[in-house]
């Protein structure tokens, strides 16, 4: 338990360091008040998003083109995550519920950063435990490395010597992409669902 707690603290510090570094270079700015949970406004940042080829939780090959015409809420994580990922997935579930009749215009997408364990059946069991609109995406190590690069996502496996039970440090932003797959904004972990819904409704 102490080791898990230590690793979670390390994850928080790593994510904080990434945000602070981006803020210092002017790539991101925090929303009102600069508080935890604010959305992040990209200011002259390098391109985020782009083409990808992955496999969904139903075992079907998909590309970015399959999401054209829909807003995407893209979150990177892994199914064995003890805290951050299920919490954010629950937040996104609330977002989809609060969108009501407009929910059909948005797709929440969960992309694994741990493809060696997050196989299609594992991903299916995970995303189906949340909102039915979720799409889980996995793929080969090379495919996941490529989409991580395109979304500027950091992840690092904890090398504790156990090939089955390990944690993965990772950034925990949710990307709101427009109907053409271009970035609109980035929500920090902890952003309230109502703030996400308000931003999404601006795009409808």
Structurally, how many domains does the chain consist of?
1
For the full predicted model, state whether its pTM sits above 0.75: yes
Could you tell me the residue range of the domain that residue 99 belongs to?
A: 2-202
Chain segment 39-60, per-residue pLDDT in tens:
554 544 558 999 999 999 999 9
User: Which range is least confidently modeled, 30-39, 97-106, 122-131, 189-198?
Assistant: 30-39
Residue 114 maps to which CATH number?
3.40.30.10
Determine the Cα–Cα distance for residues 79 and 50; give it in Å rounded to an integer. Answer: 24
Inter-residue long-range contacts of 11-20, CB under 8 Å, 24+ positions, other chains counted = 11/84, 11/167, 11/169, 11/170, 14/154, 14/156, 14/169, 15/171, 15/172, 15/189, 18/154, 18/171, 19/188
**What Rg, from alpha-carbon coordinates, does the chain have?**
16
CB contact at 8 A, 168 and 113 = yes
pLDDT at residue 150 tops 50: yes
């Amino acid at each position: 338990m102490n080791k898990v707690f230590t690793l979670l603290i390390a994850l928080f510090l790593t994510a904080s360091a990434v945000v602070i570094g981006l803020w210092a270079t002017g790539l991101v700015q925090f929303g009102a008040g600069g508080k935890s949970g604010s959305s992040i406004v990209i200011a002259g940042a390098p391109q985020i998003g782009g083409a990808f080829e992955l496999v969904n939780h139903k075992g079907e090959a998909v590309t970015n083109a399959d999401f054209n015409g829909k807003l995407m809420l893209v979150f990177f994580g892994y199914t064995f995550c003890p805290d951050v990922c299920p919490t954010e997935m629950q937040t996104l579930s609330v977002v989809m519920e609060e969108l009501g009749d407009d929910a059909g215009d948005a797709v929440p997408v969960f992309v694994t950063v741990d493809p060696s364990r997050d196989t299609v059946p594992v991903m299916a069991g995970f995303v189906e435990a949340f909102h039915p609109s979720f799409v889980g995406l996995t793929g080969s190590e090379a495919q996941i490395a490529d989409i991580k690069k395109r979304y500027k996502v950091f992840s690092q496996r904890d090398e504790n010597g156990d090939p089955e039970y390990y944690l993965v440090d990772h950034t925990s932003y949710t990307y709101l992409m427009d109907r053409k797959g271009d970035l609109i904004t980035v929500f920090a972990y902890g952003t309230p669902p109502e703030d996400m819904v308000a931003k999404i409704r601006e795009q409808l």
